Structure 1
Amino acid sequence: MKILHISALPVWSMDGKGGMPSLRETLKGHIRANHEIEMISPYYDLFSDDLKPLHIERGKGYSIHVAPCSWLPPLKRFRNRVSKISGRNSIPYPFRWIINVSMLLLLTLSLLIKARKVCKYGKFKPDLIYAHNQYASLSGFFLGQIFEIPNVTRLYGTFLADLMNKPFVYFRYPTAAAGYLIPSTLLICANDGTRGDEVAGKFNLSSQRFRFWQNGIDPPSKKPTTTRKELVDRFGPTLRENSQWAISCSRLSSWKRIDRMLHALEICRNKGVDCQLLIAGDGPEKEELQDLAKNLNLTENVIWLGSVAHDDIWALMNFADVFLITNDVTNRCNPLYEAAWAGLPVVSVIDPSTSDLLQHRTNSLLAEKDDNQALGNYLSEVLEDEGLRIKFQSEQKKLASSFWTWEERMKVEVKELEKLVFKSEN
């Protein structure tokens, strides 16, 4: 097949080292199946506070064609001006509605123009359109109609589940609802804890065109050979070889609640436990979180790794003692799967989205979301009790054996896509 990918999301949002593993693995899975793909992506990261060009990966078996999106700088300037005038951390709802809808429509136009050029002058005749994220779903639908071929929409989570009982949700949150309501031949939604299947049910989506799949993981083919000392040398003089290490892997956004980890680390330190928190990731909250760490006198106990290559994440997990994840919205995400695969004990918060993955005192210790004292106590407990860690490690290995690898996950998807194309051709 020839598949045209239309994306509102970057493959690599973190300086070319990380960002969207599920998007990247989707591309790799389609290539492994010997399908030819081309991808169209915006010039900028639409969802970043900064106006920075996206990192464009080259030489990976596909080409990325950039849609200029010259409308985005003035739109973001308008957003910043509204934010400054309102004196709030968030944009007032009416302006947010206008900005989001404008972004959807303008991005649709940009992606359509670029797709037509790629297909006309690049002589690429697609058999399937694959749109990533709700912001690309409208352009995916139009391109499917233009070329008379199937169009697939891929969603990476939603915030609509708790809002579906309110009136006119589709009007109040049109861009979030777009991925569900804009017609697609197949809608693939990630089972990431945000309950996208419930939203699909509320919107009366046919089960024949809806798939709700958990992401896979991409484990290394063999145990990392990097030594602990090499990691200390690589990631800076403040990383102590003889300390115990807690690791967190996430974008530094407000809903990730890294502040909970810092307060837990303070409690852990006050108990006399020598622990360093290794934070892999970057994002808009970094400066504020660094100030909090300084105020808590944790400067030497927190290692800000920034964007870290995926192979180095595996190496760090191989030597870490515990994995921390304390998100507000959902904690069911790829780093949690990878921590299980690495056999890492988990300290987290009670979250319905992970109830089938994390069992308190079986493979994890779970605190109430706003109980930093309990979170800190649990962190101290698992670090001080080697027998508990060994038990948790064994249970995590059992859990990981039930996960899809990305290769397995993508084989299932590719079969579905091939059926769509075969059906449309006949």
Structure 2
Amino acid sequence: MRVALFTETYLPHINGVVTHVKILKEGLEKLGHQVLVVTADYNTHKHYIKDGVLHCPAKRMRRFYNFGVAAPISERRLRLIRDFNPDIIHIHNEFGVGLSGVMAAKILKKPLVYTLHTMYDEYIYYVAPPMLVSVMTKFSHRYTKMLAKSASALTGPSKKCAEYFKNAGVKKDVNVIPNSVELESFSPANISAEKKEAFRKQYNIDDDQMIACFVGRLGREKSVDVILDYWAQSITKEDKIHLIIIGDGPCKEELEEQAKKLGIAEMVTFTGAVQHDELPPYLASCDVYITASLSDTNSISMLEGMATGLPVLQRLDPLNADQVREGVNGFVFDDAVSMAEKLREVKNKSPEELDILKRSVIASVKRSGAEDLANYMLTVYHNLYNEDNTSKTGKSIHFVRPSELLKRMKER
């Protein structure tokens, strides 16, 4: 099968969507399929294909993390996509490149898959002043509905995506397909003790301190401010628990100032941006992954932490409730007191109990590799491909639904 994946950002940029597309591409190729990634690139003035990636000229948008935005219409781009002759077109973003995928699917008469990765209601503040948030939210919902109407199939990494589509007025079924993680890169067996020791020395964290970490873009939607507030309310120096915030973003300075005002600066470290290939020893040096975000769908950073054996402390989020199983791969908190209780519970475990917990956490993501993601997605592709071919030839092949495949793989 030949699959064209459309994404506004791709390597060397790193974010959740980039990681998802990268892992999906690798998984599909391992299974023998051909993949073309179509992406915006502000470093080029002409379209070109290299290593399975179609680079499209774009304008650099400094306000949006220096990502590129490409024009949705390009004859040259369409010719290159036609030459690739995809069986499936799959869009992962909603802007210039995403619209380009929608139009290419229509012109080339190819099935279109649309994956929603982002809860845009949480990001409106980036582009609209407070008095226009309501108007922009309605516009965002209409836009999402328009894209969904154009798609032959919808997917998303959590039930939260299905709820978002529903709120936008979309009545189609949504295939919930969890995100994936580079299991080998984040396996604790592949991370040396020396690198973990170097991490603690670099940030002056004593060996008797338990480390809770958060990894991600430091924007308002990640609710790191909630973690800091809860920390100030319930964690003391005597607990010997250190919080490390890994990442950068528009709220970094504001959060650093908040930690100072709350009197917890000595218990909190902000590392700034860390290159993705340098991240495994950071996570492996920590003891717990903590998040208060209610905007994430199926956080890849969280999955990377779990792949290193970190139990997750997740703020109560009903639509993501199935991602953390109490005592199996993490714990749920809903206020400062319960957060502190869960942190202390982990800290007070014996080495034997911690080892059992870590093994359980790693086991919970063992079906989150590249080929697993590819197989999940292939059920969607094959069903559409089958429908498309049936309309042309009158012959059909049976393929299982994604929900059934997920059920089967969980039972293994």
Shorter-chain TM-score category?
Answer: 0.7 to 0.9
1:372 aligned onto 2:339: no
Match of 2:76 among 117, 125, 129: 117
Counterpart residue type for residue 405 of structure 1: G
- Distance in 2 of aligned mates of 1:236 and 1:334: 27
- Distance in 2 of aligned mates of 1:269 and 1:412: 41
Please list, as runs of the form range in 1=range in 2, the aligned pairs for 1:40-59 lying within 5 A after superposition: 40-43=38-41
Match of 1:258 among 214, 224, 230: 224
What is the Cα deviation at residue 322 of structure 1?
A: 1.4
Q: Which residue of structure 1 lines up, in the alignment, with residue 143 of structure 2?
A: 175
- Distance in 2 of aligned mates of 1:8 and 1:234: 33
Question: What SS does structure 2 have at the residue aligned with 1:355?
Answer: helix
Match of 2:248 among 282, 286, 298: 282
1:296 aligned onto 2:256: no
Counterpart residue type for residue 111 of structure 2: P
For residues 161-190 of structure 1, the C-alpha deviation after alignment (integer angstroms, 9 at most, x for no partner) is 9xxxx9998656323333323x12332222
* Change in CA separation of 1:160 and 1:248 when aligned onto 2, cut-off 3 Å: closer
What is the Cα deviation at residue 361 of structure 1?
A: 5.2
* Change in CA separation of 1:359 and 1:18 when aligned onto 2, cut-off 3 Å: closer
- Distance in 1 of aligned mates of 2:49 and 2:56: 15
Q: Which segment drifts farther, 277-286 or 30-39?
A: 30-39
**1:254 and 1:285 in contact (8 A); partners too:** yes
1:130 aligned onto 2:130: no
What is the Cα deviation at residue 285 of structure 1?
A: 1.2
- Distance in 2 of aligned mates of 1:357 and 1:281: 23
Please list, as runs of the form range in 1=range in 2, the aligned pairs for 1:325-364 lying within 5 A after superposition: 325-330=291-296, 332-360=298-326, 363-364=329-330
Counterpart residue type for residue 4 of structure 2: L
- Distance in 2 of aligned mates of 1:304 and 1:406: 31
Give me the identity figure in percent. 17
TM, length-normalised to structure 1: 0.71
Please list, as runs of the form range in 1=range in 2, the aligned pairs for 1:5-404 lying within 5 A after superposition: 5-14=5-14, 20-43=18-41, 61-69=51-59, 110-113=71-74, 116-120=75-79, 124-127=83-86, 128-135=88-95, 136-158=97-119, 173-181=141-149, 183-191=150-158, 193-196=160-163, 199=166, 202-205=169-172, 207=173, 210-220=174-184, 223-233=188-198, 237-242=202-207, 243-266=209-232, 270-330=236-296, 332-360=298-326, 363-368=329-334, 371-386=335-350, 389=354, 392-393=357-358, 395-397=360-362, 399-401=364-366, 403-404=367-368
What is the Cα deviation at residue 237 of structure 1?
A: 3.0
Q: Which residue of structure 1 lines up, in the alignment, with residue 131 of structure 2?
A: none
- Distance in 1 of aligned mates of 2:325 and 2:190: 31
Counterpart residue type for residue 112 of structure 2: N
What is the Cα deviation at residue 197 of structure 1?
A: 7.7
Q: Which segment drifts farther, 275-284 or 339-348?
A: 339-348
- Distance in 2 of aligned mates of 1:141 and 1:149: 10
* Change in CA separation of 1:231 and 1:241 when aligned onto 2, cut-off 3 Å: farther
Q: How many residues align?
A: 368
Return structure 1 stretches of 4+ with deviation > 6 angstroms.
Answer: 166-170
Counterpart residue type for residue 285 of structure 1: C
**2:36 and 2:54 in contact (8 A); partners too:** yes
For residues 40-82 of structure 1, the C-alpha deviation after alignment (integer angstroms, 9 at most, x for no partner) is 32346xxxxxxxx79xxx9983224123248x68xx79xxxxx
What is the Cα deviation at residue 324 of structure 1?
A: 0.8
* Change in CA separation of 1:160 and 1:117 when aligned onto 2, cut-off 3 Å: same
Counterpart residue type for residue 151 of structure 1: L
**2:144 and 2:165 in contact (8 A); partners too:** no
- Distance in 2 of aligned mates of 1:141 and 1:19: 18
What is the Cα deviation at residue 286 of structure 1?
A: 1.1
- Distance in 2 of aligned mates of 1:264 and 1:297: 12
The two structures, once aligned, show a CA RMSD in angstroms of: 4.0
**1:158 and 1:176 in contact (8 A); partners too:** no
Question: What SS does structure 2 have at the residue aligned with 1:20?
Answer: helix
Question: What SS does structure 1 have at the residue aligned with 2:39?
Answer: strand
- Distance in 2 of aligned mates of 1:247 and 1:215: 20
What is the Cα deviation at residue 272 of structure 1?
A: 0.5
Counterpart residue type for residue 79 of structure 2: K
For residues 319-340 of structure 1, the C-alpha deviation after alignment (integer angstroms, 9 at most, x for no partner) is 3221111113346422333333
Q: Which segment drifts farther, 244-253 or 312-321?
A: 312-321
What is the Cα deviation at residue 219 of structure 1?
A: 0.9
Q: Which residue of structure 2 lines up, in the alignment, with residue 99 of structure 1?
A: none
* Change in CA separation of 1:342 and 1:353 when aligned onto 2, cut-off 3 Å: farther
- Distance in 2 of aligned mates of 1:393 and 1:234: 20
What is the Cα deviation at residue 253 of structure 1?
A: 1.3
Question: What SS does structure 2 have at the residue aligned with 1:329?
Answer: coil
**1:239 and 1:303 in contact (8 A); partners too:** no
- Distance in 2 of aligned mates of 1:122 and 1:191: 30
